Chain A
Amino acid sequence: GAVVSQHPSWVICKSGTSVKIECRSLDFQATTMFWYRQFPKQSLMLMATSNEGSKATYEQGVEKDKFLINHASLTLSTLTVTSAHPEDSSFYICSAGPTGGGGYGYTFGSGTRLTVV
């Protein structure tokens, strides 16, 4: 149980275009979803927290107009990178939960590698 599907797994886009990444909880309802960014050989950096039906809470330094997050249903959140530039190239990972049981925490998607050329 507690599967999170993230698509696409990789995407290459041209500079200036927008890219949408989807995160779906397949067998549970996710009231909260988190979006992370990970640079090579580095830890995960939390970008934003989204709760179903409300606006996302962005971490300091993350441009909310550039990284649009929508969490319109209990099973789907999307991250749209608008007007992408090469410096936005990174590995983006979502997590969703809670999956039940106090310590079980949140389940992660398999990540999306974005390359902007």
Chain B
Amino acid sequence: GEDVEQSLFLSVREGDSSVINCTYTDSSSTYLYWYKQEPGAGLQLLTYIFSNMDMKQDQRLTVLLNKKDKHLSLRIADTQTGDSAIYFCAERTGTASKLTFGTGTRLQVTL
């Protein structure tokens, strides 16, 4: 079955790097996504990675995918207070269009 897990909370200091981790169980994932949700708002797509890739970098964001261990991570370089939000990983499997979301990680950035 589909099960996507994340740690609940992460606190970092402004300027440091943040690493948010995600584990999933479905080996047939085709795309994996990272979304950001600010309080009372919808989800904003940050980045995605195709399952045959190991890494993807987009400005301050680096996504690492270890398909063997079914582990996905999002690294945010030079974390800013505006990065404080909840981050969800999500997987899309096979030809299905629906996404399975992780439990969400609340990132708190302190001064």
Contact = CB atoms under 8 A, between A and B. Distances in A.
Instruction: Rank and list the top 6 A-B pairs by shortest CB-CB distance, nearest first.
Output: A108-B42, A108-B43, A110-B42, A103-B48, A111-B42, A103-B31
Interface stretch (B11-19, B72-80, B95-103): B95-103
B42 A105 contact: no
Interface stretch (A43-51, A62-70, A77-85): A43-51
A34 B40 CA distance: 19
Q: How large is the interface on A (under 10, 10 to 19, 20 to 34, 35 or more residues)?
A: 20 to 34
Given A42-B104, A105-B48, 12 more contacts: A42-B103, A43-B103, A46-B99, A49-B97, A49-B98, A93-B43, A103-B50, A104-B48, A105-B99, A107-B45, A108-B42, A108-B44
14 contacts: A4-B42, A42-B104, A91-B40, A97-B97, A102-B31, A103-B31, A103-B50, A105-B33, A105-B45, A105-B48, A105-B99, A109-B42, A111-B42, A113-B40
B47 to A, nearest CB: 9
A4 B44 CA distance: 11
A100 B92 CA distance: 15
Nearest to A31: B97
Interface string A56-100: 000000000000000000000000000000000001010101100
B35 to A, nearest CB: 8
A93 to B, nearest CB: 5
A110 B94 CA distance: 27
Contacts of A108: 35, 42-45
Contacts of B104: 41-43
Interface string B14-47: 0000000000000000010101000011111100
A32 interface: yes
A6 interface: yes
Nearest to B102: A43
A43 B97 CA distance: 18
Nearest to A32: B97
A104 B48 CA distance: 7
Given A43-B101, A43-B104, A49-B97, A105 B92 contact: yes
